[in-house]
Every structure is written in C-alpha cells, then in structure tokens.
Amino acid sequence: METSKKILLVEDDNTLRSTLGMFLESSGWVVTEARSAEEAVRHLGKEGTDLVVTDLKLGGMDGLGLLRFVRKESPETNVVLISAYADIDVAVEALKEGAADFIEKPFTPPVFLDRVAKAFAFKPNLDGKALTRTEKNKDFRFDHLVGRSQTVRKMKEILRIVDDLPDALLISGEPGVGKETLARKIHEAGARAEYPFVAINCSSLSDSDLELELFGSSRGERRGVLLEGKGGTLFLDEISSLSMAMQVKVLKMLENKRVRLSGSAQEADVDVQVICGTNKNLEQMVSEETFRQDLFYKINVVHLKLDSLRERVEDIPLLMEYFLEGFNRITGKNIEGFSKSVFDACLKYEWPGNVRELKSFVERIVIFCKDQVVQYQHVPENIREPRPRSTTGISKGLMTLKDLEKTKIVETLNAFKGNKANTAKALGIGRNTLWRKLKEYEIEEEDYSGKQV
C-alpha cells in the first residue's frame, strides 16, 4: 500500500473519529481529521487530499453536501460516506452524486479498510454528470413471472387463456406477493395490451379522491381512468378498503358498463377489464357484512390466489438471480452471483414482505456490494442465521465500531490509571461525554486498572 495516500476523515463524534483515524493510520495512510464539513472545506481549500471519508450525519453541512462540494471543486478527489442511518434512497442519491462508496454502520475494521482501499481506485465521471437509471437501461422492467413452483406454473397457464377471462376478476395474496405484476402480465398477454394499464391503490385515496380518479368530473377537468383507459385494464388494489358507498358505485359500473360522471347525471360507456387485488379474506368480510356480497360474487368468478414466498421457497433462488440481473443492468454493475451461504440464509428466512422484500434485499445488496460474488457478510443481520455470542472475548477482526470504541476507552483508562479527566482529554471528549459512554457501554471500575478519579 502506498504510504503517501492522504485521507481527510470527517466525523463529529470525537471518539469514533479517533478510532477510525487510528485504524486508517495503522494501514499506512496519512490521515487528517476534521470535526465538521465546514472544517473539511477549509482544509481542502488549503492543501487538498486523495480521499474524503465522511459521516453522513454532521452538524451544519451534512455528508451529502460535502460530497457535492468536493465533486464540484475537486472532482478528482473521491468521497466515501458512512452512516448508521443508511437507506436505499440515500445510498442511491450518494452514488448518483458521484460517491465512491457508501458504507453502513456497524462494520468491522477489515471491511471498512478494504472498502476505503478500493475507493482510491474509483473513477468518477469527471464531467459531473451521473448516469441515471434510465440512461443505463431505459427498458428494463421487473415484470416477469419467475419461478418453478406450482403457483407460478398455474399463473403461466392463466396467461395462455387470458382472452377467455371475464371483464372482472380477483387476485388475492399477502402484501408483496406480486398481485400487480400478475395483473400487468394478464393485460399484456391479451387483446387489451395495446391500450392503457392503470393501477390504483384504493386504500391510499379518500372516497372523493377515488371517485374523481375513477369517474372523472362533469366539469371536464378530468375524465377519469375508466374513460381515459378505454380498451385497457384497471387494477384496483386493496379492493377490501372501499367504503360501502364506493362498493355500490363500482358494482354498478361493472354490471352496467356505464359510469356517471362525478357531480352530474351524465353517463358514459365503459370498456375496461377490471382486475381487483386484495390481501384480505373477502368471504369473511362478506359474512361480517363489511364487504358487499353481490360485489364479491361479481369479481370472484375467476379468483387467482398467489401463495406467499415462504410457501414456495423453490422460487427464491431464481428470483434472486433475476433481480440481480436486473439491478446489475440498472446500475451498470457486474456482480456475478451469490455464495451458497447467502442462498442458504435466504432459504431459511420467512420473507414476511414476500417478493417485494426479496427484491428490495437484492437491490440493497447490489448498491452496497463491492465484490464479484455476494458473500454472507453482505446479508443484513435480520436475514442471517442467529449466531451464538463468543464467551472468550471479542476477536479484533470481528469487532463492530461500538466494540472498538469501548475497547479504546478502556485502553485509555488503563493508560491513565483510571483518571477520567486525563482520559477524556486524550480521547478529545468532555468528561460528561465520557461518563455517558461509560454508562452506555457498561464499563465498570473492574474493567480497567488504577484508582478511579
């Protein structure tokens, strides 16, 4: 490793900044520390650096603001963001802005140092224009029925007879199983494919908004999707959330093939296929008199039931590979696949969010993974197999940042024989902060030598 490489470390937590700086320096890099983005900007104006490693959450300007400044004023300098609050939207935004990497806390020192080392080789788009997803692949859509389970085979059989299906049908299943995907495939496989497909979530709209969305306005401000989508398909998801009044209006529309414009006596013909989606037991709702029996009979002529992902685990590996291919194409990455341990973990996990959760998991993996093959350590903790705690102490290579911070505090207390004033000064924190961290990490006097001061 080249010892001449310079890193500007930006972190407002003094103890964490000191800990990370220690590890970076032990790897041979020259480290300059800054407590804020503003201090980092001043430093960059004086002498520059080869790499900026910054926390996302900072007082004043945040890490994204600093990233934008560096990309504008020093585009040859790479930036790595770290955060305990990472989510996909923030990570995507950072990568679009030109970040070399986005590292989630907690992480182990080997992972952190490896990602930092790789960030030096990152080649940003120096013209300042980040490729958008649509520019990388304008036509990729996650709309295939993927799998070999009995459920998927039945759905594919349905697609062969779509023109024989009635103009109203029902798809049921837990949230995230792919009801809208199936509805869209039914639309695309039939004679209505050249006309619009419109999806509406009934639970997200009030009665008045939903009525306007469906039926339009007599004043001509909006025609409504039932008229605008003539010849096409309307997917009404969460049909169970309709009020009794709206259930009556939907039933009349299905029976009469006509709609009355909102606020008017004027009527118009309707030519759409209506596919309803639900994650509720409509038969039970009928018996409880919260869903109209006549509407249920109207939409239940053909009822397609989608199993949960935990009931068709044989589809999980195929879906993972499918989503990986798609997100590789969207992001321009070339991750080759998943290790056996990753597949094993995913097959044991119950996926309460079903296919939607699995898709989100793979998207997150593609965003954060810097290796050619996805390994077990890339899998979020909630999906991994629970592992027993070590009873023989913590291996340095497996320590989290909190472990490292606790260890550094104890080591510093030992060095100053328990003197908290000197310990706080050496760590660059106040005594109150030190007391708070002693309580947070449950550090007792017997954990370090010397007389307590």
Level-2 CATH architecture, domain 6-130: 3-Layer(aba) Sandwich (3.40)
Binning pLDDT at 50, 70 and 90, where does residue 172 land?
A: very high
Lowest mean pLDDT among 85-94, 215-224, 300-309, 394-403: 394-403
d(CA 405, CA 400): 9
Sheet holding 168-172, edge to edge: 197-201, 233-237, 273-278, 168-172, 303-305
Q: Looking at residue 263, what is its pLDDT? A: 62
* For residue 357, pLDDT beyond 90: yes
* For residue 1, pLDDT beyond 80: no
Q: Looking at residue 87, what is its pLDDT? A: 53
Q: Looking at residue 139, what is its pLDDT? A: 42
* For residue 91, pLDDT beyond 90: no
Domains 6-130 and 150-306 share a fold: yes
- Rounded to the nearest integer, the mean pLDDT of the chain is 84
pLDDT digits (tens, 9 = 90+) for 117-133: 988 887 654 443 433 43
* For residue 393, pLDDT beyond 50: no
Q: Looking at residue 320, what is its pLDDT? A: 93
Q: Are strands 197-201 and 267-269 parallel, antiparallel or unpaired?
A: unpaired
Level-2 CATH architecture, domain 396-447: Orthogonal Bundle (1.10)
Specify the higher pLDDT residue, 264 or 247: 247
d(CA 170, CA 406): 56
Binning pLDDT at 50, 70 and 90, where does residue 88 land?
A: low
434 by DSSP, 3-state: which? helix
The domain segmentation of the chain, as residue ranges, is 6-130, 150-306, 396-447
| Homologous superfamily, domain 150-306 | P-loop containing nucleotide triphosphate hydrolases (3.40.50.300)
Q: Looking at residue 92, what is its pLDDT? A: 67
Give the pTM.
0.58
The DSSP annotation for 351-392 comes to: -TTHHHHHHHHHHHHHHH--SSEE-GGGS-TTTSPP-PPPSS
